[in-house]
Amino acid sequence: MKSLLIVTALAAGHSYAAAADSLDPVNANGWNTSAELGAISTSGNTVGTSVTGKIDAKHETAKWSNEYVLAGYFKDEEVTNADGDKVRERSAQRYSASAKAGYKLLSDDHDKLFALATHVDDRFGAYTRYSTIGIGYGTQTYQSDTHTLDVEIGPGYFRGVRTENNVQTVETGGTIRGAALLKWKLSDNAQFSQNLIVERGTDNTHSIAETALRTKINSTMQMKAAFNVRNDTNVPADKKNTDTQTSVTLVYSF
C-alpha cells in the first residue's frame, strides 16, 4: 500500500508539471522545438522596419535534458544624412546563441547538473560581444497544477568586448550565475512566464529578464507578447545601463 501511494504521488507530480507546461509538449522522439517570428514595418512620417526571431529546441532523454537557442533582432530606420538625402540606417542589431546540457540526477527529472555556453553579438549594446561558459545545479522548487518554479545556480566565466571612444576593451573574469523560471498556466490555452538570469562578476552584473504571455491559436501555432530587459551595471559613458524590447510574435511548435 505504501509503495502504491508513492507511485501515485510521483505520477501526480508529473501530471502537475505537464499541466503547467501544456503549451510546450514533447513529441515521441523527446524533442520540443519552437520557431517564433515578429516584424513591424512603418511608413509615412516615420519609415522603418524591425524584425525579431528565435528558434528554441529542447531534447529530453532518460538521463539528459538539453536546450539549444538561436535568436536575432534588427531595426532599420530611414534618416536624413548630412547631404539631405534619405538613407536607411541600422539602429539595432543583436544576435545570440546558447547551448545547455543538463544531466538528470533523479528519476523525477527536476534535479540536474548542467553545463552551458552562450554568445551575444550586439552591435549597439554596452558590450558588443559577450560570451559565457558555466556549470551548476538546477532544480524545480515548486510545482502545482497551474504553477512551476525552476531555479539554477553555479559558477562561470565571461569574456566581454566593449567600445569607448573608438577604443575596444576586452574584459574577462569569473561570475556567479543565478536563474529562475516561473510558469503559470492561466487556462488550457494561455500561459504566463517570467524568466530571470543574473551573472555577477567582479566589476559588472549582467542581467536578462523576459516577461511573456502566450496564447494557443491551434495545436501548433501560438501568439506571444513579451517584454525583455537587458541590464549591465558598468557601461561606457555613452551607453545606457538598460535596453528594453517589447514584441508580439507568432510561435510555431513542432
Is the pLDDT at 28 greater than 70? The verdict is no
Q: How confident is the model at residue 22 (pLDDT cuts 50, 70, 90)?
A: low
From the CB of residue 129, how many other CB atoms can be counted at a distance below 10 Å? 16
The string of DSSP letters for the chain reads: -HHHHHHHHHHHHHHHHHHHTTTS---TTSEEEEEEEEEEEE-TTS-EEEEEEEEEEEEE-SSEEEEEEEEEEEEEEEEE-TTS-EEEEEEEEEEEEEEEEEEE-STTS--EEEEEEEEEEETTSSSSEEEEEEEEEEEEEEE-SSEEEEEEEEEEEEEEEEEETTEEEEEEEEEEEEEEEEEEEEETTEEEEEEEEEEE-SS-EEEEEEEEEEEESSSSEEEEEEEEEEEESS--TTS-SEEEEEEEEEEEE-
> C-alpha 172: how far from its chain's center?
23
Q: Per-residue confidence at 144, pLDDT binned at 50, 70, 90?
A: very high
Beta-strand pair 147-164/242-253: unpaired
pLDDT greater than 70 at residue 12: no
- 68 phi/psi in degrees, rounded to 5: -130, 130
Q: Answer yes or no: is pLDDT of 18 > 50.
A: no
What is the pLDDT averaged over residues 161-188?
93
What is the per-residue pLDDT across 149-171, written as a single tens digit (0 to 9) for each?
999 999 999 999 988 878 889 99
Does position 8 have pLDDT exceeding 60, yes or no? no
What is the structure's pLDDT at 41?
87
Longest pairwise C-alpha distance within the chain: 85
b (16+ CB within 10 A) / e for 20-45:
bbebbeeeeeeebebbbebeeeeeee
Per-residue exposure over 92-123, b if at least 16 CB sit within 10 Å of its own CB, e if not: bebebbbebbbebeeeebbebebebebebbbe
Note whether 111 and 70 are within 8 A (CB). Answer: no
pLDDT tens, 47-91? 889 999 999 999 999 899 999 999 999 999 888 888 888 888 888
Contact between residue 3 and residue 10 where contact means Cβ atoms under 8 Å apart: no
The reported pTM is 0.84
Domains located in the chain, CATH noted: 2-253 (2.40.160.40)
Q: How far is CA 133 from the centre of its chain?
A: 16
